[in-house]
Amino acid sequence: MDEGTFTGDSGRLQPSWWRDLGTWARVSLAGVLAAGLLAIGLGWFIPREVEQQFLEAQIEEDQAVLSALMSTQTLVAGGAPDIEVLDAFVEEAVLRGDFVRVKLWSPGGRVLYSDEHALIGRTFPLGEDLGHAAISGPVSHISNLSADENVFERDLGPTLLETYLPVLVDGEVVALWEVYHSLDGLNNAVSGVRLAVWISVGAGLAILALFMVSAFGNLIATVQRRRREAEARSAELETLLEVARTTSESLDPDDVAQRAVRLLYETGGYHCVALTRTDAEGGVVLLGLAGDETCAAEGHGADASECDPQIATADSEGGLLTLVACSHAATAGHGSGPAVIQGAVEELRLGVERAELYHRVEASRAQLRDVMDKLVSAQEEERQRIVGEVHDGLGQDLHRVLFGIRGLIAATPEEVDTELASLEELVNQSSRRLRRLLAELHPSVIEDVGLAASLRGLVERMSEDYGLHVELQIEGFSEPPVDVRLSAFRIAQEALQNIVKHSGTLNGELTVTRENGVLALRVADFGKGIEEDPGAGLGLWLMRERAEALGGTLLVNSGPMGTIVDARFPVGAAV
């Protein structure tokens, strides 16, 4: 079965254009066909009606002649007609024009008179027309002259018009009057009418046909065009669905772009397809290419004779995505439409962003795992440090106290006083070392004395323990919430520790201000800066996490002139 036909419900092959026509179009076509059939019927009916009217007029004319003959008293009931008188009458009044023969019949079928005298006195079987005329009245018909009685009329023509009239005397049929007419007049009249009718009908049908051909030609063309457009839209939608499916099957940004570009190249009728991304600085990166390698360049301003580009763009997180689909100028219009290219670049944007987001999440997970490993290591190192300080510091001090007390048992009074003074100083040092260690582990003093006092104590301890000189600037402000105090203290503590460990200097600045609902903490040094990525270290990561957990921010700027840690916390209006 070819594409132009289809099988309907009835099993018959029907043309596809009939399937495409709507109900109203089919009804209109059926109405036009009915009008055509009606016109053809009129072309047949009108000549027949003219012929019938002619026959009725002929009967009336023959009846008038018979009435004139009856008025001469030539025909008398039961008597033989006067042949000479009838000859004279027929010669004068009948045998003119299309009258070619007359007969007078008796009810029994004998010819009483005829202008062909050889028929007079002969008897023939009464035919159907004669019998009908004898009973019901006048009869007129066209005869083929095959009856026996027509033996002398066959020389007058192949067919003649016969009219049968009953001769009535006192209401009784006494004879039958038969007149033969030539068909030339009838034929001329009917032929003229038929010609005029068929010319009119033919002209009307021709005009109707032209109108129908034009109207339905345009209608069919419109239907076919809309069908092609619908098929094209369906194909474009299928292409977009394939692009969407392709972009969802991979989580590699490069693979997503290349597979989607290859799909468009293979299904869209292009000779090249390219996807590029332009970043904020104007740099262009080719993400995917299929076909001619010059596609991306042609799509951005090549000679139109070389390429007829369709270009669509979409803003993405990484920059402006540009999809270029080129067709040769000779095949322009055969590829997918602009809507497909625009829809494809939007799908590509979603696919690429989804894949890049997945990679960022995976990278964050990997970074988180690395940070957790570092955190565990740092915790273990911190435990070891605490154990070392307890063992080497407090443990040794306690042993010293123990041995000192034992030595006092056998000592002299002077030695006891000296040893007790030494042991008192040793206990005081151990007590201070224990308080510092506990403060580092959990600075509960923040809740009691506030952030400003806690930071002053931190600066003093850093100076005592490490010789770090910190210029402290704390403007007068109301204390922030406890969680903000603790996070700000920990960030300051970590930042000062980093100065000691990494800056190569023992000078720094610590500034705390509160303004416009924001608590700002700034720690700066004038050392050599951080050589590695400022955001890669565990300490800086924890500092940033502390700030962001409270809705704040933390920025680290490091260079040859030093490092600045800037933390900000939202705290609302001061009370």
CATH assignment at residue 283 = 3.30.450.40
Instruction: Show the low-confidence residues of the chain (pLDDT under 70).
Output: 1-29, 31-32, 43, 73-79, 93-98, 128-136, 212, 216, 294-307, 328-337, 368, 371-404, 406-412, 431-448, 476, 531-538, 573-575
Does 105 reside within a domain? yes
What's residue 564's pLDDT?
Answer: 92
Question: What is the number of other CB atoms lying within 10 angstroms of the CB of residue 208?
Answer: 14
With CA atoms as reference, report the closest residue to 300 among 281, 325, 318.
325
What's residue 520's pLDDT?
Answer: 92
Same-domain status, 150 and 262: no
Does 26 reside within a domain? no
What's residue 330's pLDDT?
Answer: 45
Cα R_g (the chain), whole angstroms: 62
Same-domain status, 458 and 559: yes
The enclosing domain of 490 has a CATH number of 3.30.565.10
**Long-range CB pairs of 332-337, under 8 A, 24+ apart, other chains included:** 332/308, 334/269, 335/268, 335/269, 335/270, 335/310, 336/235, 336/236, 336/239, 336/264, 336/267, 336/268, 336/269, 337/232, 337/236
Residue type, 553: T
Same-domain status, 463 and 566: yes
> CB-based burial of residue 544 (10 Å sphere; 0-12 exposed, 13-18 middle, 19+ buried)?
buried
Domain holding 139, by residue range, is 72-182
Residues 130-156: tens digit of each pLDDT: 666 556 678 777 888 888 888 888 888
Number of domains in the chain: 3
Same-domain status, 461 and 564: yes
Does 534 reside within a domain? yes
- Strands 319-327 and 507-515 turn out to be unpaired
Same-domain status, 466 and 557: yes
Does 309 reside within a domain? yes
Does 372 reside within a domain? no
Only one residue has tokens 């027949």, namely 48
Please report, for residues 34, 41, 52, 241, 244, the alpha-carbon distance to residue 44 in angstroms, rounded to integers and kept in the order given.
Answer: 15, 5, 13, 62, 67
The enclosing domain of 126 has a CATH number of 3.30.450.20
First to last CA, the chain: 88
Does 575 reside within a domain? no
Does 214 reside within a domain? no
Distance CA 461, CA 467 (A): 9
Which domain-ending residue is among 182, 204, 224? Answer: 182
- Claim: this prediction has a pTM higher than 0.85: no
Which residues fall within 8 angstroms of residue 440, CB to CB, at 6 or more apart?
A: 493
Same-domain status, 449 and 550: yes
Which domain-ending residue is among 136, 160, 182? Answer: 182
Q: What is the DSSP letter of 123?
A: B
Residues 480-492: tens digit of each pLDDT: 888 888 888 889 9
Which residues fall within 8 angstroms of residue 390, CB to CB, at 6 or more apart?
A: 437
Does 211 reside within a domain? no
Which domain-ending residue is among 182, 200, 219? Answer: 182
Same-domain status, 169 and 261: no
What's residue 181's pLDDT?
Answer: 81
What's residue 150's pLDDT?
Answer: 84
What's residue 144's pLDDT?
Answer: 83
